[in-house]
């Protein structure tokens, strides 16, 4: 049995179990539950990433001192920084793993509802909007304020709210970090981390575009996962400024 067939069968069984509660939207509820199950399974990685971010924030003054001390010796700076991260049990790129692990699950969900592999699942809806359709289909059937269009509008509002909160929080966290100094590019992972720090806050807004172009089921997966991430990070509070800690 392929992974697509397995997921289709799993979603079908869960949807059948939820049918008494959700009716025609049972498969949509099954997608939400599957997403939450995936994120719950990844929670240990998220906790590890949060600890890593706290550790990196605590190491920031020491790292800045290393940069001042070894700015004329890039090789020594790299060695000292790597050793400092190793002793602390952290890595500049540790927070990327939970996001990377989710990509195959999203791909399977996208493929399942983009082909006939979804079988009966493609006939299920979310408040009247077929799970295999896209926003363009909703626009063609009643426009943005039609019955199906309002389903997408609700998802867009939720994603926009979460993206705005994530962006503001990320900017606040970035402002609490020490300003870059000469030698940053020599620290292991620092260049990649700096670029990611500028791009990642904007990716939340990119989810709006993704939800609009992928099948509704895949968009529902993204919305649920994005919301989970925001709530999870709020609970874990991986990076706080000194003022917030007081």
Strand partners, 129: 126
DSSP code of 128?
A: T
DSSP code of 24?
A: G
Instruction: Collect all residues with Cβ–Cβ distance below 8 Å to 212 and sequence separation of at least 6.
Output: 134, 135, 152, 156, 219
Instruction: Average pLDDT across each block of 10 residues of the chain; the chain has 246 residues. List them in order.
Output: 74 88 89 89 79 70 74 73 69 60 74 67 83 89 89 92 82 58 46 53 76 89 88 70 42
- Sign of CA pseudo-dihedral 40, 48, 51, 65: negative
CA 195/CA 213 separation, integer angstroms: 26
Neighbours of 46 (CB within 10 A): 22
Of 204, 225, 211, whose CA–CA distance to 40 is shortest? 225
CA 80/CA 75 separation, integer angstroms: 9
pLDDT score for 192: 46
CA 155/CA 161 separation, integer angstroms: 10
Instruction: Collect all residues with Cβ–Cβ distance below 8 Å to 225 and sequence separation of at least 6.
Output: 35, 38, 39, 102, 106
Of 226, 220, 208, 3, whose CA–CA distance to 124 is shortest? 220
Count CA within 13 A, CB hemisphere, residue 65.
6
Instruction: Collect all residues with Cβ–Cβ distance below 8 Å to 112 and sequence separation of at least 6.
Output: 4, 7, 8, 11, 118, 121, 217
**0.85 exceeded by the pTM?**
no
pLDDT score for 88: 66
């Amino acid at each position: 049995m392929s992974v697509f067939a397995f997921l289709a069968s799993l979603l079908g069984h869960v949807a059948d179990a939820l049918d008494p509660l959700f009716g025609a939207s049972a498969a949509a509820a099954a997608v939400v539950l599957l997403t939450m199950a995936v994120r719950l399974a990844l929670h240990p990685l998220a906790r590890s990433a949060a600890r890593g971010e706290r550790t990196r924030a605590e190491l920031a003054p020491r790292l800045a001192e290393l940069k001042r001390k070894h700015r004329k010796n890039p090789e020594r700076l790299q060695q000292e920084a790597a050793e400092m991260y190793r002793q602390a049990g952290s890595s500049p790129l540790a927070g990327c793993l939970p996001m990377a692990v989710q990509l195959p699950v999203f791909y399977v969900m996208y493929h399942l509802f983009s082909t006939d592999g979804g079988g009966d699942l493609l006939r299920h809806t979310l408040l009247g909007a077929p799970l295999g359709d896209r926003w363009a289909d909703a626009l063609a059937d009643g426009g943005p304020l039609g019955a199906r269009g309002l389903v997408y509008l609700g998802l867009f509002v939720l994603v926009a709210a979460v993206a705005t909160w994530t962006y503001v929080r990320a900017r606040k966290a970035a402002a609490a970090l020490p300003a870059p100094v000469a030698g940053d590019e020599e620290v292991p992972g620092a260049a990649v981390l700096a670029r990611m720090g500028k791009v990642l806050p904007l990716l939340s807004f990119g989810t709006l575009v993704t939800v609009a172009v992928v099948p509704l089921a895949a968009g529902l997966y993204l919305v649920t996962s994005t919301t989970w991430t925001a709530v999870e990070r709020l609970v874990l509070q991986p990076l706080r400024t000194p003022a917030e800690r007081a």
